């Protein structure tokens, strides 16, 4: 099972992702890699960045493990007509994800990486992010975002919500759901029972208002999760939870909103982290970077997050 192929959707056609992919191939992986991408875009970037790779062209309809080669890029070509048109980009990205999802549903692989996409154009406000888009396509209602690093990982209860909506979406059941998902993922895929800290919503877990979410919701959720024999504690004040003496006590910090935990983790580890969607029937990872169109062709982008993603999947 460990040698199942790693499926990679290159994502946005105008992106630094392929540059990072090329750089990540300086390492050897036990699993074959299947790249779902437009052939012309791939070849152009290989030429522009002066790389040399062996390509194994794969017919999607006939694909099986025997046709894959470990020391080559196994390529599934996706047609793309470059017209500087958002609709054409969306068709290309949709087809790329569609191919990957079909292969996963066929049990061809349970290892999936997607490159970044322009969420404002492709998702068109139908979904908060790619995490929600993928979960919807597999009819998964209980899922979460985990930014994983061996030393410390973080997870937000809410993802890409505007600040003014966060308190309305936090509930005791939702917090417990995320705690359970984190606990199960670490036991199943990392091999440890994680030490989970929960950050409060309000500064110092206090408020001048009559209703305090930290005492009425967060604290009660933590107490109930403890009864499930999960190693969880909190709520802790977000302003001190990430200082060295505190964060070394935990494997994961669960925050109430996106930037509460993603800001500190990116400050601490920068590109040394990967975005994993937990709760899916497969492992989906997105490297922690965007399309960064301005850096295309400069060969200066940092591949560390993609390397971490490939190594994580290669070991599982």
DSSP string, 211-243: --HIIIIIHHHHHHHHTTT--EEEEE-TTTTTS
Cα separation of 217 and 13, whole Å?
A: 43
Contact 257, 145 (CB under 8 A): no
Contact 306, 287 (CB under 8 A): yes
**Residues counted in the chain:** 316
For the chain, percent helix, then strand, then coil, each to nearest 5? 40, 15, 40
Give pLDDT, residue 120: 74
Contact 27, 55 (CB under 8 A): no
Of residues 146 and 131, more confidently modeled = 146
Which residues share a beta bridge with 36?
9, 76
User: What CATH number should be reported for the domain whose range is 1-140+280-316?
Assistant: 3.40.718.10
Same fold, 1-140+280-316 and 142-277: yes
User: What CATH number should be reported for the domain whose range is 142-277?
Assistant: 3.40.718.10
Does residue 83 carry a pLDDT above 80?
no
Give pLDDT, residue 117: 86
Helix (H) or strand (E) holding 7: strand 6-9
The rounded mean pLDDT for the chain is 93
> What's the angle, vertex CA 75, arms to CA 139 and CA 3, rounded to 5?
65
Query: Quick check: helix, strand or coil at residue 208?
Result: coil
Q: For the ranges 69-73, 122-126, 155-159, 178-182, which has the lowest average pLDDT?
A: 122-126
pLDDT in tens, 256-266: 999 999 999 99
Which residues share a beta bridge with 197?
233, 253
Instruction: Work out whether the CA dihedral 65, 69, 71, 75 comes out positive or negative.
Output: negative
Mean pLDDT of 60-69: 90
Q: Which two tokens mark 181?
A: 């998902």
Contact 175, 198 (CB under 8 A): yes
Cα separation of 267 and 160, whole Å?
A: 19
Give pLDDT, residue 297: 76
Cα separation of 263 and 273, whole Å?
A: 12
pLDDT in tens, 137-180: 999 999 999 999 999 999 999 998 999 999 999 999 999 999 99
For 244, half-sphere exposure in the C-beta direction (CA atoms, 13 angstrom radius) is 0
Query: Quick check: helix, strand or coil at residue 112?
Result: strand
For the chain, domain boundaries: 1-140+280-316, 142-277
CA 112 to chain centre: 10
Q: What is the model's pTM?
A: 0.93
Give pLDDT, residue 82: 78
Contact 9, 36 (CB under 8 A): yes
pLDDT in tens, 175-207: 999 999 999 999 999 999 999 999 999 999 999
């Amino acid at each position: 099972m460990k040698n199942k192929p790693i499926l990679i959707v290159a994502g946005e056609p105008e992106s630094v992702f392929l540059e990072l992919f090329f750089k990540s191939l300086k390492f050897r992986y036990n699993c074959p890699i299947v790249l779902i991408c437009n052939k012309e875009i791939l070849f152009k970037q290989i030429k522009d960045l002066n790389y040399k790779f062996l390509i194994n062209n794969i017919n999607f309809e006939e694909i099986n493990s025997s046709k894959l080669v470990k020391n080559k890029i196994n390529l599934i070509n996706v047609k793309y007509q470059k017209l500087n048109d958002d609709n054409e980009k969306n068709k290309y990205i949709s087809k790329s994800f569609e191919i990957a999802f079909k292969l996963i549903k066929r049990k061809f692989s349970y290892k999936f990486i997607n490159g970044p996409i322009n969420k404002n154009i492709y998702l068109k406000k139908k979904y908060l992010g790619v995490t929600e888009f993928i979960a919807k396509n597999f009819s998964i209602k209980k899922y979460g975002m985990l930014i994983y690093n061996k030393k410390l990982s973080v997870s937000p209860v809410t993802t890409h919500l505007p600040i003014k909506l966060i308190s309305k979406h936090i509930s005791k059941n939702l917090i417990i759901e995320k705690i359970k998902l984190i606990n199960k993922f670490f036991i199943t895929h990392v091999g440890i029972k994680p030490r989970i800290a929960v950050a409060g919503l309000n500064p110092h877990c206090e408020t001048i208002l009559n209703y305090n979410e930290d005492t009425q919701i967060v604290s009660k959720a933590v107490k109930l999760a403890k009864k499930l024999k999960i190693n969880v504690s909190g709520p802790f004040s977000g302003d001190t939870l990430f200082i060295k003496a505190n964060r070394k006590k935990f494997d994961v910090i669960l925050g109430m909103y996106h930037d509460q935990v993603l800001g500190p983790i990116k400050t601490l580890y920068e590109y040394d982290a990967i975005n994993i969607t937990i709760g899916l029937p497969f492992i989906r990872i997105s490297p922690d970077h965007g399309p960064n169109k301005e850096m295309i062709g400069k060969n200066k982008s940092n591949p560390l997050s993609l390397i971490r993603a490939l190594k994580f999947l290669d070991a599982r």
